[in-house]
Amino acid sequence: IMNGELTESFKPQRGVRQGDPLSPYLFVLCMEKLSHIIAARVLKKEWKAVRAARSGPLISHLFFADDLILFGEASIQQAMVMKNSLEEFCELSGQQVNFEKSLLYISANTKPDLVDQIEQTCGVTRSTDMGNYLGVPLVQGRVTKATYKGVLIKVQAKLSAWKSQLLSMAGRITLIQSVVSSIPLYTMQTAKLPQALCEDLDKSSKSFLWGSSENHHKTHLVKWDTVCLPKRLGGLGIKKAALMNQAMLSKASWRIVAGDSGLWA
């Protein structure tokens, strides 16, 4: 296509290099073909997609860049349909599926013999944990503090890289407001964090603010509730983790109530 018009086809002499401006666009075109293959098989009722709710839409796959989640019935026939779809895509595009980084998650209600057969058919390692998708844990059971422990680890790692004793009070406040408070925001937009985890996040910010460490505890001169008040009310404007989480989820809820037609709020 040149200037919006179809021209004669040609064979490229070499592939594009990493960082080439055409690379992302070509990759999107390739993945679009896989989406068409899956959609065609769903339309023919060969691929049995699933519903998140009785009145919800059928979901067969989720794409984001090179991250892919496939949904289907737990049967050998459906496993073959998925495998054949991926093989067809690989033959057409020249791409390959990295099965070493792929996981197979099956409902606990499925018979063990059937689970083993599906695992052998797909050639993918079975997992009892769906892991992370786009940096957020895919929760399929009870949510505990350990579920989102990675958020706390990121905050603590960032704080440990800074020497709080070498920074002024104003510098510590700025870092907490601009950096530490922004780390959990991505997860907070889609998940309700446990209260215990929110308290640990506040505790980390509190210790950094007053220059405390594991081996050296300093006296907190002002109550944390006062520190978290807006500046116009005499506080420092530091946001509590639980309230930030509530605000992020309220924004998503408003989009649902306002009638956003997207699958994801």
Share of the chain above pLDDT 70, in %: 87
pLDDT for residue 246 is more than 90: yes
Q: Is the dihedral of CA 168, 172, 177, 183 positive or negative?
A: positive
pTM value?
Answer: 0.66
Average pLDDT for 148-175: 82
**Ranges 7-11, 24-28, 132-136, 249-253: which has the least confidence:** 24-28
Give 15-57 pLDDT, tens digit per residue. Answer: 656 666 666 677 777 788 888 999 999 999 898 988 877 877 8
The structural domains of the chain, with segments of one domain joined by +, span 23-128, 149-256
How many CB atoms are located within 10 Å of the residue 254 CB?
11
Give 75-106 pLDDT, tens digit per residue. Answer: 899 999 999 999 999 888 888 888 888 888 88
Taking alpha carbons only, the member of 66, 64, 53, 58 closest to residue 38 is: 58
Greater model confidence, 20 or 74: 74
Residue 265: its pLDDT value, please?
A: 42
